[in-house]
Structure 1
Amino acid sequence: MSDIPDLTAHTGYLLRMVSNAVSQKFARDVEGEGVTVAEWAMLRSLYGSDATTPSDLVRKMGMTKGAISKLADRLLDKGLIARTGSNRGQSLSLSPAGAQRVPILAALADQNDAAFFTVLSGEEHKQLRDLLHGLIKTHGLTTMPVD
């Protein structure tokens, strides 16, 4: 039995430990603003762009059509996005309230990063981000982490 390494010997376990802490804190923060992390991701995906089709969001966010539809319905109910067109050719865009909310939520994301990663030097933080971007590219990861 001694030949089995401790959990902390696994990089994936360490990544998950950090990711959970970072994600859970951010989820609580955005919940205070009345949205979920997944809703924030959709709002951010729509920010600064023209009206977008749900199919484009499926590709951009790496989520299923059903998941995008549910998110859109929730954000429509909250008045944070607008839907134009017919069922056959719908487009989604930020409402004025949604456009105002995105910078607030982005600031929360920045604060969350600062709370966890300021223990790293600027160069260490850059190296970590570069390594993570390299892993994402190498493994073709495209799905947004929203849960």
Structure 2
Amino acid sequence: MPSVSDLSTHIGYWMRMVSNAVSQDFARKVMAEGVTVAEWAFMRALYDEDALAPSALAEKMGMTKGAISKLADRLLAKGLVGRVENEKDGRAHSLFLTAKGRANVPVLASLADMNDAEYFGVLTAAEREALVRTLKVLVERRGLKNIPVD
């Protein structure tokens, strides 16, 4: 019988354990505010902009235009995002945060900050810096660009 490595011998196992816990708790927190993690990421991506075309937002977030369209439709229905038609091209439009959406972003950001503090506050400042530095190296060397929303 061939030797089979134990799950716990894989770095990915430990990363997934932490990632799942952090993500699931955060998802519960933002769901209590009426949005999903993907919707929060979409809103945060729009927060520093007056308005963005869906194609620009898709590029910024590393998502498909179809995924952006679905998120936009959900956020439009919730009154958190608005749509403005392009005056030069009637087929084109841009998306923007409504006043309600803009007011909601700092609330959601504070939940993200709180979630990080709950999980990573057990580390020393040096340990947190080393963890972030290591993760950034992996992101850079693997060429990862998509904003994690799942």
Please indicate, yes or no, whether the TM-score normalized by the shorter chain is above 0.5.
Answer: yes
The alignment's TM-score, normalised by the length of structure 2, stands at 0.94
Secondary structure at 1:84 match in 2? strand
Number of matched pairs? 147
Residue 39 of structure 2 aligns with which residue? 39
| AA partner of residue 113 (structure 2) | D
Cα distance in 2 between the residues matched to 1:61 and 1:52: 12
Distance in 1 separating the partners of 2:57 and 2:130: 30
* Residues 1:74 and 2:74 are matched in the alignment: yes
Corresponding residue number in structure 1 for 2:135: 132
Give aligned-pair identity as a percent.
57
Please, which of 108, 115, 119 is the counterpart of residue 118 of structure 2? Answer: 115
User: For 2:52 and 2:116, how far apart are their aligned partners in 1?
Assistant: 28
Residue type of the alignment partner of 1:82:
G
* CA-CA distance at 1:2 after TM superposition: 7.6
**Superposition CA RMSD, Å:** 1.2
One-letter amino acid of the counterpart of residue 98, structure 2: S
Which residue type is aligned with residue 8 of structure 2?
Answer: T
Runs of 4+ residues over 4 Å off in structure 1: none
The secondary structure found in structure 1 opposite 2:122 is: coil
Q: Distance in 1 between matches of 2:23 and 2:42?
A: 16
Counterpart amino acid of residue 6 in structure 2: D
> Which runs of 5 or more residues in structure 2 are unaligned?
none
Show the 5 A alignment for 1:1-147.
3-85=3-85, 88-147=91-150
Residue 83 of structure 2: SS of its match in structure 1? strand
CA distance in 2 between partners of 1:142 and 1:18 (Å): 21
Cα displacement (A) at 1:97? 0.4
Cα offset for 1:33? 0.1
